[in-house]
Structure 1
Amino acid sequence: MKNLRLRSLQGLSFAIALCTSASALGQAAPSASASVETKPTSRNRMLEEVVVTAQKREQSIQDIPISIQAFSGEQLDAMGIEDQTDLQKITPGLNITTQVSYVITFLRGIGTDAFLSADPSVATYIDGIYFPFASNLAQQFGSVERIEVLKGPQGTLFGRNATGGAISIHTKEPEFDSFYGDVTGRVGSFDKQMLRFYANVPVTDDLAFNISAVRAESDNYYKGTVGTPPRSIPRDESTGVRAKIRWQPGENWDIRLAATRLVFEGGGSNIAYTTEPSALAATAGVEPQTGYRGALDYNVYTETDPNDVVYGSVLYNAPWFDVKLLGSKQKMDTAGSRDFDGSPRALSAFDTPDQFIESESAEIQLLSNGETGPSWLEWILGGYYYAGISGFAALDFYLGGIDVNNGTLLGLSLPLGLGELLGDIAPLPNGPLRMVGLVGTNSVAAFGQATISVTDWLNVTLGLRHQDEERYIEKSTSGLLLTDGSTLPLLDNTNNATDSDGNPYPATDVTRSLSPKVSIEMRPFDSDVMLFVSWQEAIKASTYNSVSIYDSADYVKPEEIVAYEMGMKSTFRQGQVRFNAAAFYYEVDNLQQQFVSFFEGGVVALQNAGASEIYGAEIDGLVQLFPSLIDDLVLTGGISYLHARYEDFSNASGYNEAGVFSNTNDFSGSQIIRSPDFTVAASLSKTWGVPGGTLEAAADYYYTDDFFFEPGNRKLSMQEAYDTIDARISYDYLAWDLRTTLSVYNLTDERYTNGIFVTDFGVQRTIAPPRAYGLQVKWSF
């Protein structure tokens, strides 16, 4: 089967290349050229050119010497993209999975599954504001103008911890010229219901606001019971609101303010069953639960109430340069619970009744505007500030089967530290182990970038960012939660930490970094073909995992990357053909990794992966097929090849093939987690003019090679290669501006996982949804 998939992959690569070459060669033929010039503008939404701000100013995506894929709101709708987890279907090299209601993002082999204390390595920005949340970020996008996926380190301009890249989401801005909006309703499988509203309201010639609201709910596609006594899996419900206001008090001023609120509750991705029990679990009578039906003895849920963000920007067009100020204040409160053993046995569970993050940020940018200074120089200078505190004000861990007198856990020897800790407490009080773990951050940075036009076909870009980031343990304690609600203290590790080698380390650490960038952009042939090469460094600050039961907090070193890249961007036939390609090589030190084991100090722990090597190549493009014969038949897609390996990962903590935990493993030579060798995305769409409007049909194909969820590359935690097909057909009735779309997802009912959670009790798989259907109606007014 795998050979068959590889042959299909090679065939698809050849087909895309052949179509691209044929269309490119066709531009020299006078008859074809004349045919294109006399045709009306295409109605296919995929042909829309996207303007991006990947370099903090508006530019065509084909004019930026950066590997980037961008999609307008209309294109996302045309491709059936509803939330962040769907982006991997249209972006080769991007891997997005969920784990314990967290979104785990890897891009070109760079990412982190350390979702509790470490920031994501692929940063998320909304309207230019950095969002540190990994939890519950997979929300519906709402009123989106465009989404940009910036590949490779973004250490200069986006800076903070973006060693893998950045996902930049731009929502619609208020406009002054007219009142308009849309209402979207969607129903589908698993009693899915969604209603979204957007309106743009001009107040005066220089004051306007818009509002976007969404309400969604559905049954979980998992069937079974949770809790004792058993009850049905809770329904997922979410509500989100975003309001934006824009004011231009003078021709040189543009002031924008926004506020968002998101509320979510339900089972979410916390619903997962242990499919491969460990020896420990088997001793306790845990049996495998596969498929979409099973039972959990614990009351599993997730709740975000609320996620509040206030942000804004002020732009002043001075005579010499533009000045832009940005700021934000963010707060997220989350609660939830997880059945740690993933079975109907009352063995282990954890509650997070009080998890939160509070942060604030500010940024100033000075940008050249072409009004003064040499015409051959374009530059930006800036400063950035970020402060935040995040973690668990309370995390309760329930564990049954402890025999304090014999020093055993379900018949196995207790970890040494825990045995000593509990040995003085007999009998063991009735209640969970309560942990408090909070980590603080203070970060300041200065950055600059300049592009010099050496000739009319050669540009050189130089960038530099200096950053000081302090991480500190705000609180790290453990105790026993008693039946009266009080806590019996056990350990206070607020001032204690150990590094990956087990050596004592201070509870405060400062990462000072200087990240340079050099890129060269060339157009030696004509303006439609750009070649570029780049070299840059980026760093992700050190951090702590302060959640521990019987050991010191974990300190991990900064994650550092040196990246080399060369690429090409090209446009032919007046935009009917776009072909982009890139090859890259990364040297990475100290990838920050997470593992889960009760036998290593607590529920979770962090470690550095030593040295890693990543190299690969990507192509993406668009082709309007046979334009002289067929109107509006468009093929889009791309292919990513990735070789991502741990070069030096000795003395690593993790599980062997038998599921036994140890901290003396050698994972050197293993494939980096969540980094498949090949991924392919392709979409074929066609639009017809029909009575009353337009008819649009599309089919999407996504393929990923196999990959692993553990650095030890155990077969038990491997995701085998799979492919999916989605399809849609829609009719746009122009008189009413009403578009109706019928969709089918996972047409072949492929069985694969959205994420894997590995514990001492075995492997829990969150299976992706089966085949599903949806009907959407969107009315624009």
Structure 2
Amino acid sequence: MRRGVPAFCEIPDFPHPQSLRNIMPATRSPRFPLNAIAAAILAMAPACSPAADAGGQADAATLSPVTVTANKIEQDVQSVPQSITVIDGATLEERGINKVADLLGEIPNMYSNAAGGHGMGISFRGLNASMFTNNNPIVVYIDGVAYSSRYGFDPSLANVERIEVLRGPQGSLYGKDAIGAVINIVTKKPENDWHGTAGVEIAEDDGRLGTFNASGALVKDALYAGINGQYGSSDGWIENTWPGMKKDASAHDNDKLSAYLLWTPNTALSAKLALSQERYTARWYEGTQAGPGGSPLGFFKRDAAEKASYDVAPKEKGDTDAQSLLLTYRMGAVTLDSVTTHKTFTLDGIYDADFGVNPLYAGLTQFNHSETETWSQEIRLSSSATTGLRWVAGVYFEKESHDQGPYGMQMPVPPLGNFEMNADSTTDTQTHALFGQIIYPFGKAELTLGGRYQSIEKEFQVDTYYLPVGMAGPAMYGMEDTKRWNQFLPRAALSYAIDPRWTAYVSYSKGYMPGGYNYFSSSGAVADNRFKPQISDNYEIGIRGRGEHLTVAANLFHMDIEDVHIYKAVGALYTTSNARKAHSTGAEVELTWHPVRNWELGGALGVIDAKYKSYDAGTHDFDGKKIENTPSHTLRLSAAWLSPGGAYARVDVRNVGRVMFYDDAVKGFAREDGYTTVDLKAGYRFADWDLYAYVHNATDEEYTSGFMSNYAITMASFGAPRKIGVGARYSF
């Protein structure tokens, strides 16, 4: 926590955190008048002008400017004409954020849906994960390596200088997949002296977490090295009651190891080679409960989810290996950058076929194996200036091979016996792109214009089998297809400096999520397998201000979405297809305030109205229905205290509004009313040590985080119950 003191101004009409609790109850989704929020945004700037700081207390600490690089050039965050959240490494440690899933709760309008347990699907501003491209609408970048798949969506956060979350489509600079946002993880720059940290945590359910990080010079001012790692494990909170099976049904562990070499022979040239390796193993997924097909949402309870009965021991393993080479050559007014990346990801999973005790399914399994290899190369030129006219231009190439299979399940077919459905597929994808962006200042304004022209070609081949278990035979059907999608992704923004501390902006950007093919389809016809790219047009107006003791950012956005990727069941078979049109409209507000010495108050509020505009599902029309997995609002309130003597404490309250889940069994939507969680942390720092204790979900709130249903099976996922832990960290 930054040491802070009394605020330099008051914000008229902005609710006190205590009053926010009254207008946003945990079990209801209030209607937020967006016009009133817009008026409040416009009211902030004149009330918080520099003149209002005259009465500030003399012992106030000043909030320093923040430089970001997410737009691939250095900028003061104050001048970035779009919604952006920046969290530094010290704040991550203070809040106990050690994985991407924890980070999502800090960002307004972000939500994670874990129904079914397979990967981490992210929702943002009404955009959901695409199941059979496996892409999330948010892309994580670390050392140039992209993480967009809902599998393995958790790179290491052990060596972070800061995290920059650019909200809204980022296609002009980042291309495909970045339809919703980009999370840019900036790692720490090493110094000549060696520095680092080592930490350990223990928690309930035999939870363990160990971290370490060290970096420094091998050759002074020329060659640096760094290494960091993380290991975590837990027995989980689900017990398998099936006789003879291990009781810890959701035990899991993961380890992450990263290392780099940085060579700086002179001030013009730098070269960084980064390597990372990540492994995870999960027996099953915490909080996932299965029930008969068509079971309503109210059928599921967290108490029941704590007991499972699997006659087949579920197990999933994921392995990620990534390498990147970043070269930078500064040629006076121009900088040349080259980013080369290579990443492989392997997934192996076997699961109980019915996730239950139906004797007809005894010993039968579901199974999932995939291997993905990705090469990418980006070369860009940019101006070295940090003010005035700035520009960036480049080319991008990517080649990806995705092998899926065996992929399917075994099932009883009375009286014929047990049968197995399996699909083996290969998707080869090539992406080529040209991109550029220019920032042109005039007076107190800056005009940003950018665009990306990209071509994505996919070659797809699938063979689908339906045979008695253990019997070999020919494919039931096969299919091959090649498709190329070309797209231009423009961006335009205009920012205006109201005064040195306040900036207003308007922006437009086009987002894109690639089309693709279902790995499992109901026939061998191309029309039943292929789905279109999802495209969005995002409009945003916002304001950002910074004082000595307060930062505020607020925006209104509207998004028109075409060919929405929707995930539906055809019988017991899930497929992806397109809904013609949807839209989302909302507002986001973030603030950090130091009201008195050693105290920091913060908050982030997101409200949204996301609906299908044209969605004909054949037998049902969903026009006007809420988009699934999209909370009506998200709210985070935090208070932190740091004593000069080293003691500290913080509380974080998160409220999630109403969420709709698609229920294919009834061709409708199930409603989760919302929930509130409270996290607590307290500790003591002395010398080079930090000792602390924490409680997650202190009130033991029971809430549903995901739900999916068809006529054959229904699954619901629950958030974790209260967890208590302690930890220690040593810095050197």
Same fold by TM-score greater than 0.5: yes
Are 1:439 and 2:448 counterparts? no
Q: Which amino acid aligns with 1:386?
A: E
Q: Alignment partner of 1:76: what SS?
A: helix
Are 1:110 and 2:122 counterparts? no
Q: Which one of 372, 381, 392 corresponds to residue 357 of structure 1?
A: 372
- Displacement after TM superposition at 1:624 (Å): 1.0
Contact 1:226 1:300 in 2 (8 A): no
Contact 2:121 2:150 in 1 (8 A): yes
Residue 458 of structure 2: aligned partner? 471
CA 435–459 in structure 1, closer or farther in 2 if over 3 Å, else same:
same
Are 1:639 and 2:585 counterparts? no
Contact 2:477 2:523 in 1 (8 A): no
CA 387–595 in structure 1, closer or farther in 2 if over 3 Å, else same:
same
Residue 729 of structure 2: aligned partner? 778
Q: Which one of 175, 189, 195 corresponds to residue 204 of structure 2?
A: 189
Q: Which one of 366, 369, 392 corresponds to residue 404 of structure 2?
A: 392
- Displacement after TM superposition at 1:481 (Å): 6.6
Matches of 2:378 and 2:48, distance apart in 1? 47
CA 354–399 in structure 1, closer or farther in 2 if over 3 Å, else same:
same
Are 1:487 and 2:503 counterparts? no
Q: Alignment partner of 1:367: what SS?
A: strand
Residue 604 of structure 1: aligned partner? 574
CA 226–82 in structure 1, closer or farther in 2 if over 3 Å, else same:
farther
Q: Which one of 619, 632, 636 corresponds to residue 589 of structure 2?
A: 619
Taking the TM superposition and a 5 Å limit, the aligned residue runs for 1:219-618 are 219-225=235-241, 232-233=248-249, 235-269=251-285, 272-275=288-291, 277-278=293-294, 290-304=304-318, 306-346=319-359, 350-352=365-367, 354-370=369-385, 376-403=388-415, 432-455=420-443, 457-480=444-467, 482-483=469-470, 487-495=472-480, 507-523=481-497, 525-548=498-521, 550-552=523-525, 554-572=529-547, 574=548, 576-599=549-572, 603-618=573-588
Cα shift readout 1:703-756 (whole Å, capped 9, x = no counterpart): 1111122177978743321011111111111x2x10111110101111113332
- Extract unaligned runs of 5+ from structure 2: 1-21
Q: Which amino acid aligns with 1:529?
A: W
Cα shift readout 1:363-390 (whole Å, capped 9, x = no counterpart): 011001139xxx7421000111111122
Q: Which one of 116, 119, 143 corresponds to residue 135 of structure 2?
A: 119
- Displacement after TM superposition at 1:340 (Å): 4.6
Q: Which amino acid aligns with 2:429?
A: T
Cα shift readout 1:280-339 (whole Å, capped 9, x = no counterpart): 9xxxxx9999342231233212112x2111112100001341000001111111111233
Contact 1:103 1:138 in 2 (8 A): no
Matches of 1:714 and 1:687, distance apart in 2? 52
Matches of 2:81 and 2:24, distance apart in 1? 36
Q: Alignment partner of 1:77: what SS?
A: helix
CA 276–287 in structure 1, closer or farther in 2 if over 3 Å, else same:
farther
CA 319–716 in structure 1, closer or farther in 2 if over 3 Å, else same:
closer
Cα shift readout 1:213-245 (whole Å, capped 9, x = no counterpart): 111111111223468767541521111100111
Q: Alignment partner of 2:479: what SS?
A: coil
Contact 2:659 2:671 in 1 (8 A): yes
Q: Which amino acid aligns with 2:662?
A: E
Q: Which one of 682, 699, 707 corresponds to residue 729 of structure 1?
A: 682
Q: Alignment partner of 2:179: what SS?
A: coil
Residue 684 of structure 1: aligned partner? 639
Contact 1:515 1:538 in 2 (8 A): yes
Q: Which amino acid aligns with 1:194?
A: L
CA 491–48 in structure 1, closer or farther in 2 if over 3 Å, else same:
farther
Contact 1:671 1:711 in 2 (8 A): no
Cα shift readout 1:480-518 (whole Å, capped 9, x = no counterpart): 3753xx6312323232xxxxxxxxxxx111110111111
Q: Alignment partner of 1:296: what SS?
A: coil
Matches of 1:23 and 1:218, distance apart in 2? 51
Residue 707 of structure 1: aligned partner? 659
Cα shift readout 1:133-167 (whole Å, capped 9, x = no counterpart): 32132455222222222111111111122111122
Cα shift readout 1:159-187 (whole Å, capped 9, x = no counterpart): 122111122222334x2421111101000
Contact 2:413 2:419 in 1 (8 A): no
Residue 659 of structure 1: aligned partner? none
RMSD over aligned CA atoms reads 3.0
CA 466–511 in structure 1, closer or farther in 2 if over 3 Å, else same:
same
- Displacement after TM superposition at 1:557 (Å): 0.9
Taking the TM superposition and a 5 Å limit, the aligned residue runs for 1:659-670 are 663-670=618-625
Residue 745 of structure 1: aligned partner? 696
TM-score under structure 2 length normalisation: 0.88
Contact 1:227 1:298 in 2 (8 A): no
Contact 1:238 1:265 in 2 (8 A): yes
Q: Which amino acid aligns with 2:719?
A: A
Matches of 1:550 and 1:558, distance apart in 2? 21
Contact 1:444 1:467 in 2 (8 A): yes
Matches of 2:421 and 2:536, distance apart in 1? 38
Cα shift readout 1:632-673 (whole Å, capped 9, x = no counterpart): 2111112111010001101x2xxxxxxxxxx52211111111
Are 1:201 and 2:216 counterparts? yes
Q: Which one of 187, 191, 194 corresponds to residue 179 of structure 1?
A: 194
Q: Alignment partner of 1:74: what SS?
A: helix
Q: Alignment partner of 2:624: what SS?
A: coil
Q: Alignment partner of 1:400: what SS?
A: strand
Percentage identity across paired residues of the two chains: 22
Q: Alignment partner of 2:304: what SS?
A: coil
Matches of 1:138 and 1:97, distance apart in 2? 15
- Extract unaligned runs of 5+ from structure 1: 281-285, 404-426, 496-506, 653-662
Matches of 2:245 and 2:516, distance apart in 1? 41
Matches of 2:303 and 2:354, distance apart in 1? 11
Q: Which amino acid aligns with 2:194?
A: F
- Displacement after TM superposition at 1:550 (Å): 4.8
Q: Alignment partner of 1:160: what SS?
A: coil
Taking the TM superposition and a 5 Å limit, the aligned residue runs for 1:21-40 are 28=51, 32-33=55-56, 35-36=57-58, 38-39=59-60
Q: Which amino acid aligns with 2:503?
A: M
Matches of 1:245 and 1:568, distance apart in 2? 40
Cα shift readout 1:219-278 (whole Å, capped 9, x = no counterpart): 111223468767541521111100111001222101001111111112242762224643
CA 228–494 in structure 1, closer or farther in 2 if over 3 Å, else same:
farther
Matches of 1:134 and 1:445, distance apart in 2? 24
Q: Alignment partner of 1:177: what SS?
A: coil
TM-score under structure 1 length normalisation: 0.83
Contact 2:166 2:183 in 1 (8 A): yes
